[in-house]
C-alpha cells in the first residue's frame, strides 16, 4: 500500500489545481451516481461487481455528505481529510476486482477507471482554499 500511496502523491503533485471545493462536491456526487448505475447494470449478470459498486457508491456519497465543503450535509470531516480518503478509495478501487475474483472480467475496467478518475479529481483539487466554514463560524462567535 505504501507504493500505491507514493505513486499517488507523485501523480497528484504534478496536476494543475483547478477544481474548487464546490466542483469537487458535484463530481463526488456524480461519481456516487455512476457507482449506483453500475450496480444496476451489473446486478443481473454479476452480483459481486454489483454489490461492490453499490458499496463504493455508498462510501463516496457518505464521505461527501460528511465533508466540510459546499454540498456536505453534516460537515464532520475536514476537506483536507476528505482528499486523503479519496486517495485511499482510488487505490482500493484498483484492487477490488482482483480481491473479489473478477480481475480478468470486462467489468473490472469500471472499477479501475473509476479509481483513476477519483485519483485525477483529487490530484486536481484545490484543498487549501482558506479557513473552513466551521472555523470561520467559531471566529465570528468569539469576536
Cβ–Cβ contacts within 10 Å for residue 110, how many?
23
What is the C-alpha to C-alpha distance for residues 133 and 75, in angstroms, rounded to an integer? Answer: 9
Could you report the per-residue pLDDT of 76-105, keeping only the tens digit for each?
Answer: 999 999 999 999 999 999 899 999 999 999
What is the C-alpha to C-alpha distance for residues 27 and 21, in angstroms, rounded to an integer? Answer: 10
Q: Which of 40, 52, 36, 44 is nearest to 102 (CA)?
A: 52
What is the C-alpha to C-alpha distance for residues 84 and 55, in angstroms, rounded to an integer? Answer: 19
Could you report the per-residue pLDDT of 33-82, keeping only the tens digit for each?
Answer: 999 999 999 999 999 999 999 999 999 999 999 999 999 999 999 999 99
What is the C-alpha to C-alpha distance for residues 86 and 133, in angstroms, rounded to an integer? Answer: 21
What is the C-alpha to C-alpha distance for residues 21 and 79, in angstroms, rounded to an integer? Answer: 8
14: pLDDT confidence band, cut at 50, 70 and 90?
confident
* pTM listed for this prediction: 0.83
Kindly tell me if the per-residue pLDDT of 136 is higher than 60.
no
Amino acid at each position: 500500500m505504501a507504493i500505491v500511496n507514493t505513486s499517488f502523491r507523485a501523480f497528484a503533485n504534478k496536476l494543475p489545481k483547478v477544481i474548487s471545493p464546490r466542483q469537487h462536491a458535484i463530481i463526488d456526487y456524480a461519481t456516487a451516481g455512476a457507482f449506483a448505475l453500475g450496480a444496476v447494470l451489473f446486478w443481473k449478470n454479476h452480483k459481486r461487481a454489483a454489490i461492490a459498486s453499490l458499496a463504493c457508491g455508498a462510501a463516496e456519497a457518505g464521505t461527501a455528505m460528511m465533508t466540510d465543503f459546499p454540498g456536505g450535509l453534516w460537515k464532520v470531516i475536514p476537506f483536507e481529510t476528505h482528499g486523503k480518503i479519496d486517495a485511499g478509495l482510488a487505490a482500493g478501487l484498483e484492487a477490488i476486482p482482483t480481491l473479489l475474483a473478477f480481475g480478468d472480467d470486462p467489468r473490472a475496467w469500471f472499477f479501475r477507471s473509476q479509481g483513476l478518475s477519483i485519483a485525477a479529481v483529487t490530484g486536481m483539487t484545490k484543498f487549501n482554499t482558506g479557513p473552513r466554514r466551521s472555523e470561520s463560524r467559531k471566529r465570528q462567535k468569539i469576536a
